[in-house]
């Protein structure tokens, strides 16, 4: 096919060749080898200081190619037009303490070198343990319409809740990406599989999904969640784990072992909900835990799948009620959850599809909302259908 544009370049071995762009491919020859990348695999290319740099994505890996070039401005412009990469202004938010503390190096060593070869601009914000500054929240939806989070589910939950309170209209205007740098990163697994690189690819190729959010109304606050609300064991164990965050991911194993040694607890509460078929359900009594999810709530590190039938864009939520079983039975159940969601067939489990639900406790109890801990006596949870545009692709389940 006749190229749309070509430019004369020199490889790092000082061989003269030409970069050729067609409507479907970018190709060149080097060392008697033909390099051909479909434009779906080309993320960007830039000419600067007599160097033409290209970044490609194949088999989940990025590859950078550098060529010497006298004048590549025209070719850069044609490439940019053909890739359809309209310049965006990204707000990049990274949480320096989430997960194993890799977000800053992931940002500077992986994402920014790629972004530098695209026409996009960005501003970076490093989170603190304080709330997001009002000045930043106010710019979202106006100055920034594209937000990239490098952190965990909690980092995004806090941002969305701040937007809901102060700048609600922005939620209809923005696109949100989450690149996994947290401990679980359930939302990122839902949207990009277990791959940081696929997350970057989905942003730069502009793959988006209109997905749901959960509106969570506690005694003191109204919050937004993308992934899960849990009480009982699913809140107590992460609450204990947060207190020993200094042990890194090992903290989850420590609290798991401690839970098996310490006296076992059941939690008394009332749960009511409106199921997706309109039927009302009410249960009062002891539970080991109740979890309500908006996606499968997988994580980066194992095959755990608390809500195997949930999708971020299903328009409803999935609830898992765990009967008050004892330690030995729970050990079996735990391994079933880890085994890609086999627990749904366990007799101690009630699995429900719902639109809204309410949990009432006898006294203030810990609630785990997207990994952040709250204390409340009651909580109402409602699905907000197709309330947010997420960067990602739903077929990347793995
Ligand atoms: N600079 C900082 N110093 C201390 N804490 C911070 C800082 N920035 C954010 N935080 C806290 O980090 C928490 C959010 O962490 P996040 O949930 O994203 O990570 P994670 O728990 O490792 O991941 P996941 O939620 O995916 O399991 C919030 O409680 C927030 O207050």
Question: Which atom from ligand 1 is nearest to the alpha carbon of 180?
Answer: 26
Give the model's pLDDT for residue 397.
Answer: 44
State whether 232 and 361 are in the same domain.
yes
Same-domain check for residues 227 and 207: no
Q: Are residues 147 and 194 in the same domain?
A: yes
Same domain as 305, residue 284: yes
> How high is the pLDDT of residue 105?
97
- Please tell me the distance from the alpha carbon of residue 149 to that of residue 168, in angstroms, as a whole number: 19
The secondary structure element, H or E, covering residue 390 is strand 372-391
Distance 186 CA to ligand 1 centre (A): 14
Query: Is a pLDDT exceeding 90 seen at residue 216?
Result: yes
Does the structure's ipTM exceed the value 0.95?
yes
Pocket test for ligand 1, best of 126, 127, 153, 373 (most atoms within 8 A of CB): 127
Single out the residue of 169, 112, 103 nearest to residue 138, CA to CA.
169
Q: How many angstroms separate the Cα of 299 from the Cα of each of 99, 112, 290, 338, 354?
A: 12, 25, 19, 10, 23
Instruction: Examine the domain organization and report whether 249 and 363 are in the same domain.
Output: yes
Distance CA 65, CA 287 (A): 57
Q: How confident is the model at residue 396 (pLDDT cuts 50, 70, 90)?
A: very low
Give the CA count within 13 Å in the CB-facing half-sphere of 396. 24
Is any atom of ligand 1 closer than 6 Å to the C-beta of 99? Answer: yes
Assign residue 62 the CATH number of its domain: 2.30.29.30
Domain boundary among 212, 232, 248: 212
Q: Is the same domain home to 200 and 61?
A: no
pLDDT class for 271, splitting at 50, 70, 90?
very high
- Helix, strand, coil percentages (3-state) for the chain, rounded to 5, are 25, 40, 30
Ligand 1 atom with minimal separation from the 370 CA? 25
Do 45 and 139 have their domain in common?
A: no
- 148 and 292 co-located in one domain: no
Residues 167 and 306 in one domain: no
389, part of any domain: no
Looking at 212, 233, 251, which one is the last position of a domain?
212
What's the distance, CA 259 to chain centroid? Answer: 29
- Residue range(s) defining the domain that contains residue 21: 5-82
**Ligand 1 mean position, distance from CA 193 (Å):** 21
Instruction: Kindly list the distances between the CA atom of residue 239 and the CA atoms of 10, 232, 305, 367, 390, in Å, as whole numbers in the listed order.
Output: 58, 11, 20, 9, 28
Mutation to probe ligand 1, out of 98, 132, 156, 369 (largest number of atoms < 8 A from CB): 98
Cβ 190 under 6 angstroms from ligand 1: no
Judge if 143 and 28 occupy the same domain. no
**What 3-state class would DSSP assign to 378?**
strand
Banded model confidence at residue 245, pLDDT cuts 50, 70, 90: confident
Q: Would 44 be classed as within a structural domain?
A: yes
Q: What's the confidence (pLDDT) of residue 159?
A: 98
Read off the pLDDT of residues 109-153 as tens digits, 9 standing for 90 and up: 999 999 999 999 999 999 999 999 999 999 999 999 999 999 999
d(C-alpha 276, C-alpha 317), whole Å:
9
Question: Which protein residue has the closest C-alpha to ligand 1 atom 30?
Answer: 129
3-state SS class at 30: strand
Give the CATH number for residue 307.
Answer: 2.60.200.40
Given CA atoms 246, 250, 256, 258 in this order, what sign does their dihedral have?
A: negative
Q: Are 4 and 22 in contact (CB under 8 A)?
A: yes
Closest residue by CA, ligand 1 atom 6? 129
Number of domains in the chain: 3
Max CA-CA distance within the chain? Answer: 77
For residue 397, tell me if it sits in a domain: no
pLDDT score, position 1:
67
Q: Does residue 55 belong to any structural domain of this protein?
A: yes
Domain stop point among 82, 111, 146? 82
Q: Are 369 and 225 in contact (CB under 8 A)?
A: yes
The answer to the question of residue 391 being in a domain is no
Mutating to test ligand 1, I would choose from 151, 296, 374 the residue with most ligand atoms within 8 A of its C-beta, which is: 151
Sorted by sequence, the CB contacts under 8 Å of residue 309 that are 6+ apart come out as: 318, 344, 351, 353
Share of the chain above pLDDT 90, in %: 86
Q: Residue 88 pLDDT > 80, yes or no?
A: yes
Residue 393 falls inside a structural domain = no
């Amino acid at each position: 096919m006749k190229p749309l544009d070509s430019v004369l370049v020199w490889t790092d071995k000082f061989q003269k060749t030409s970069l050729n762009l067609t409507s479907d491919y970018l190709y060149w020859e080097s060392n008697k080898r033909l390099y051909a990348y479909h434009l779906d695999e080309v993320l960007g290319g830039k000419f600067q200081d007599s160097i033409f740099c290209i970044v490609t994505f194949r088999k989940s890996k990025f590859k950078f190619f550098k060529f010497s070039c006298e004048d590549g401005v025209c070719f850069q412009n044609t490439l940019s037009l053909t890739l359809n990469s309209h310049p965006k202004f990204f707000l990049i938010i990274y949480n320096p303490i989430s997960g194993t503390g890799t977000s800053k190096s992931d940002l500077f060593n992986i994402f920014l070198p790629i972004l530098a070869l695209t026409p996009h601009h960005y501003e970076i914000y490093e989170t603190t343990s304080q709330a997001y500054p009002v000045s930043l929240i106010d710019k979202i939806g106006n100055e920034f319409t594209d937000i990239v989070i490098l952190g965990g589910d909690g980092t995004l939950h806090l941002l969305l809740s701040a937007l809901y309170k102060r700048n609600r209209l922005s939620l209809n205007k923005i696109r949100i990406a989450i690149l996994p740098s947290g401990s679980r990163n359930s939302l990122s697994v839902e949207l990009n599989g277990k791959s940081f690189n696929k997350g970057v690819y989905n942003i730069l190729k502009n793959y988006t999904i209109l997905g749901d959010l959960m509106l969570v109304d506690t005694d003191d606050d109204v919050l937004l969640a993308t992934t899960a609300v849990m009480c009982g064991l699913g809140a107590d164990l992460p609450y204990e784990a947060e207190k020993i965050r200094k042990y890194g991911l090992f903290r989850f194993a420590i609290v798991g072992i401690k839970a098996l040694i310490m006296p076992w607890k059941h939690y008394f509460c009332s749960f009511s909900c409106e199921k997706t078929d309109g039927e009302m359900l009410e249960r009062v009594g002891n539970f080991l835990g109740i979890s309500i999810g908006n996606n499968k709530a997988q994580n980066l590190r194992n095959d755990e799948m608390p809500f195997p039938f949930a999708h971020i864009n299903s328009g409803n939520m999935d609830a898992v009620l765990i009967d008050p079983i004892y330690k030995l039975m729970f050990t079996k159940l735990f391994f079933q959850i880890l085994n890609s969601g086999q627990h749904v067939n366990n007799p101690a489990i009630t699995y429900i599809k719902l639109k809204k639900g309410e949990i009432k406790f006898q006294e203030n109890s810990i609630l785990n909302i997207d990994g952040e801990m709250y204390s409340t006596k009651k909580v109402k949870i409602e699905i907000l259908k197709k309330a947010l545009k997420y960067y990602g692709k739903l077929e990347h389940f793995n």
